Amino acid sequence: MTASTPSASRSPFDLTGRRALVTGVSRGLGLQMARALARAGADLVITARKLESLDESRRDLESFGHDVLPVALDVRVEDSIRTAVEAAAAAGPLDVLVANAGCNVRKPSLEITWDDWNTVLDTNLRGTFFTVQAAARHMLPRRSGRIVTIGSLTSVFGYAGLAPYCASRGGVKQMTMSLADEFGPHGITVNCIAPGWFRTAQNDVLYRDEEWVRSLTERIPLRRPGRADDLDGIVVFLASDASAYVTGQTLLVDGGMSTGSVRALPQAR
């Protein structure tokens, strides 16, 4: 059975027998989304820049009872993407890609350097595109695949001090629509998960400011920042048969913040 063939006897959310490549699994949201996919039955290929930084994640993910293959991948290096995706595909057909690896530089725009700009755009936008391209080369001949990119609230809203990041996440959203248009006729869906505010290593410094957290929380209709497991349902949905007729979408998982309170969020100190 292919990834997109529905079956009467299996849950549309079941990922048993499917292989998912998830990038950026050494910590944070990538690790949590990999857990959700493993819980739904998927075999995994997990990546980070250094193989040893995946040791703990591998042990954690193997507890779900499915295959876990760690592979080194730096999305800023073209050869690294190609080699890693080849290794992933050599282990078995690639059914799912979650292109999660990303970074941020938080600075006033007048202080952003050429290198800052390149770091963020190369990682989040170019890195995502070429990871998708490499995975799609394996999916298109099989006429089956689920590709998930990662955006952000900043895919649709601006935020002071995050100009390169906003540019990269807006780009991912636009690119997702373009790729969905192009790959749809080949049986591949491409959708974007856009998380709101989730506390991870990437933004931990902000959450140490209680006043800032209070202001943030007041502006989220569900009255709390995201927990990593708030992405479990959406990633399984987009990786599985359940989303067979959904493509090109950016789905905001933000506790409702995009309904209107984003502009009122105070500048981070």
Ligand X SMILES: NC(=O)c1ccc[n+]([C@@H]2O[C@H](COP(=O)([O-])OP(=O)(O)OC[C@H]3O[C@@H](n4cnc5c(N)ncnc54)[C@H](OP(=O)(O)O)[C@@H]3O)[C@@H](O)[C@H]2O)c1
SS3 sequence, 22-45? ECCCCCHHHHHHHHHHHHCCCEEE
Binding mask 81-120 for ligand X (x = CB under 6 A): -------------------xxxxx----------------
Residue 78: both structure tokens together: 């073209």
What minimum distance in Å lies between the beta carbon of 24 and ligand X? 3
Q: Is 150 in the site for ligand X (CB under 6 A)?
A: yes
Nearer to ligand X, 25 or 139 (CB): 25
Cross-strand partners of 194: 252
Q: What is the DSSP string of 1-12?
A: --TT---TTS-T
Site for ligand X in 190-219 (CB under 6 A): 195, 197-198, 200-203
Of 156, 155, 201, whose CA–CA distance to 29 is shortest? 201
Report the first-to-last Cα separation within the chain, whole angstroms: 52
Cα 9 to Cα 188: distance, rounded to the nearest angstrom: 23
Is 159 noted as a catalytic residue in this protein? no
Nearer to ligand X, 56 or 62 (CB): 56
What minimum distance in Å lies between the beta carbon of 252 and ligand X? 10
Q: Is 255 in the site for ligand X (CB under 6 A)?
A: no
Q: Which helix (H) or strand (E) holds 145?
A: strand 145-150
Total residues at the site for ligand X (CB under 6 A)? 30
> Would you say 170 and 185 are in contact if contact means Cβ atoms under 8 Å apart?
no
Q: Is 159 in the site for ligand X (CB under 6 A)?
A: no
| Residue 40 identity (one-letter amino acid) | A
User: Per the residue annotation, which of 159, 165, 207, 245 is the catalytic one?
Assistant: 165
Q: Is 73 in the site for ligand X (CB under 6 A)?
A: yes
Supply the residues annotated as catalytic: 165
Residues that bind ligand X (CB under 6 A): 23-30, 48-49, 53, 73-76, 100-104, 123, 150, 152, 195, 197-198, 200-203
